[in-house]
Amino acid sequence: MSVSKKFVTDHHNVDTVLDLYIHDPAKPTIAETAARMGTTFHNVQAILREHVDPEDLKREQALRYSRSKMGEKNPMTGVSGSQHHNFVGDVEDGRGYLLRRVDGKYVFVHRIVMAEALGLSRLPDALHVHHINGDKQDNRLDNLALATNSGHQKLHTFTPPSPKSTLWEQWVSGTSK
């Protein structure tokens, strides 16, 4: 649609549009301002582009856009957890363990699983959780063992006997079939 030169050059119209759009505490949109002035969107837009600093106009438009996304108009209202577009779920820590975001902090998933199994909200720092099969991402409860720090260190420094060991040595070490 074209712009009416007669409308956009009339000083009264320019002053009224600027007063409505910039100074009205209700902060009407360009379309609402045009409706109140009895003119077109394009006429109001032309006046604003001509008489308002581009940075100020950008700020005013951002304010109105923000208002248009409040409350139930916001497409993210009520969206959380795995339904939220920023949800990444469990993430790796770089050493093979899985982390989950809890109350703004990342916590090892195996510690969460063990704490829940024990009916605790958080596992005490003095307790460690060992992955029985050695797979750091296998966080099934039957693959997790609770240990003290020293007990956990022993589990990781334990060297099973070689397959050439006697049956008795294998049985004592727990590696016999």
Tell me the torsion sign for CA atoms 5, 10, 11, 17: negative
Distance of alpha carbon 138 from alpha carbon 15, whole angstroms? 69
Over residues 82-132, the pLDDT tens digits come to 677 777 678 888 899 999 888 888 899 999 999 999 999 999 999 999 998
Where along the chain do its domains lie?
Answer: 5-68, 89-173
Question: Which pLDDT value is given to residue 170?
Answer: 65
What CATH number is given for 89-173 in this structure? 3.90.75
Edge to edge, what strands does the sheet with 105-108 contain? 91-92, 98-102, 105-108
Question: Which pLDDT value is given to residue 82?
Answer: 65
Question: Which pLDDT value is given to residue 163?
Answer: 64
Q: Which residues contact 154 (CB under 8 A, 6 or more apart)?
A: none
Q: Judging by DSSP bridges, how do beta strands 98-102 and 144-148 pair with one another?
A: unpaired
- Give CB contacts under 8 A, 24+ apart, made by 33-39: 37/13, 39/4, 39/7, 39/13
Q: What tokens does 108 get?
A: 């090892």
Residue where the block lists tokens 């108009």? 73
Q: Give me the residues of the chain with pLDDT under 70, please.
A: 1, 81-82, 88, 158-163, 165, 169-177
Distance of alpha carbon 95 from alpha carbon 49, whole angstroms? 55
Question: Which pLDDT value is given to residue 16?
Answer: 95
Q: What tokens does 153 get?
A: 């260190």
Residue where the block lists tokens 């003119």? 39
Task: Dump strand ranges (E) for the chain.
Answer: 91-92, 98-102, 105-108, 127-131, 144-148
Question: Which pLDDT value is given to residue 121?
Answer: 93
Q: What tokens does 22 get?
A: 């910039």
Question: Which pLDDT value is given to residue 158?
Answer: 64
Question: Which pLDDT value is given to residue 173?
Answer: 64
